[in-house]
Structure 1
Amino acid sequence: MNLLDLVSGPVGQQLIGGLSNQTGASDSSVSSAVSLALPFLLSQMNKNASTPEGAANLDKALNDHPGSVLNNIDGLLNSGNMADGLGILGHVFGDKQNQVAQNIGKQSGLSTGNVLQILATLAPIVMGFLGKQKQSNNIDQNGISGLLGGLLGGMQQTNGTELSMIEKMLDSNGDGSIMDEAMDLGSKLLGGFFKK
């Protein structure tokens, strides 16, 4: 099972429904936020893992996320504890996490707080999926970037131009000018997968 299979199935529907209930937002708004957040998370993780130190740090973090969360989405949603997710976001995006949330919020119509809640819930799920893949395929830190690159490559069959737009946004000063293109990528990849 790849990540798209995961989020297009019962886990994705459960996640969207739960986040919609928590935030009071529509399923379509939550879906828009998730569909953009996922490529952002994977792209930035891949960028971070491109250095030996970054790959080692991510490898260590994945050892703490063996995938059990995938079998307990309700528990994650109902716990109300976002500490793990916020910690992951801090490692992935650094001081850009609020900027990312603000721009996703502009496109999805959600508040920055709601987007941060969605990101903080999505992050452990992504880490759990990656941790499970690492464990089942015996991937060490030298293979982390390959794992992420394979997932990103499977999500799109382009030359990477759209993903570089995401990276450009992460490196920008937050004017959000390329968020339409990034949202197009997110919608193209996942837009139809979260609709019940």
Structure 2
Amino acid sequence: MDISELLNSSTGQSLIRSISDKLGINEKEASGVVSTAIPAILAGMTKNAQTAEGAESLNRAIESKHDGSLLDNLSNILQGQTQELQNDGDGILGHVFGSKRTAVEQTLSKKTGVSSGKIGPLLALLAPIVMAYLGKEKRKTSTGAGGLGDLLGGLLGSGSQGRSGGGIMDMISGTLDKDGDGDVIDEIFDMFSKKR
């Protein structure tokens, strides 16, 4: 299972409609931005999970707050006041991207054509949803801190599943795969691992 299944579900469609309304962009634009932003967040988490300390920190955050229950009521939450969700997302993004958050927002803005002023709130809204999805999958697979990197790779649609297509990465590879090697993870990592 990867996160493209969430995006293609009724919950995902509700998320895209909500983001379209909140940011004042059409649903096609919203879908494109979400399809690009979620892998960027997941890639940031994957990078953090490459160290034992980072994996443990991510694991603690999931265990304490992000068990997946947010997804059960997401449509109602998105129709209401989302400030609490965005505040939570700002905290998550601080851990995921650190000082590189602005660079990530600017890169996503260039890739999608949506202003970076709208990308910031969008990322903040998406981060808790991504964490909830990760928490749900972690619980389902009984994954510990040491296995989070592999779990994240699976959600990204990359990794050892031998998948030939259909993952979220396929949805955005044409946009982000600058070097044409079929692997967009390196390009997403470059958003915040290199100085721009």
- 1:59 aligned residue: 59
Give the alignment's Cα RMSD to 1 decimal: 1.9
Kindly indicate whether the alpha-carbon contact (under 8 Å) linking 1:2 and 1:151 is maintained by their aligned counterparts in 2. Answer: yes
- 1:96 aligned residue: 100
Q: Which runs of 5+ in 1 are unaligned?
A: 175-196
5 Å-filtered alignment, 1:41-190, equals 41-63=41-63, 64-77=65-78, 78-81=80-83, 82-152=86-156, 153=158, 155=167, 156=169, 161-174=183-196
Q: Which moved more, 1:118-127 or 1:74-83?
A: 74-83
Aligned length: 174
**Secondary structure, counterpart of 1:31 in structure 2:** helix
- 2:176 aligned residue: none
2:32 is aligned with 1:32: yes
Distance in 1, matches of 2:113 and 2:182, equals 27
Letter in 1 for 2:190: K
Distance in 2, matches of 1:88 and 1:102, equals 18
- 2:20 aligned residue: 20
Q: Which moved more, 1:89-98 or 1:102-111?
A: 102-111
Inter-CA distance 136–161: structure 2 relative to 1 (3 Å threshold): closer
Deviation for aligned residue 1:160: 6.0
**Secondary structure, counterpart of 2:184 in structure 1:** helix
Distance in 1, matches of 2:3 and 2:194, equals 28
Determine what percentage of the aligned residue pairs are the same residue.
40
Q: Which runs of 5+ in 2 are unaligned?
A: 174-180
Distance in 2, matches of 1:160 and 1:139, equals 28
Normalised to the residue count of structure 1, the TM-score between the two structures is 0.81
Normalised to the residue count of structure 2, the TM-score between the two structures is 0.81
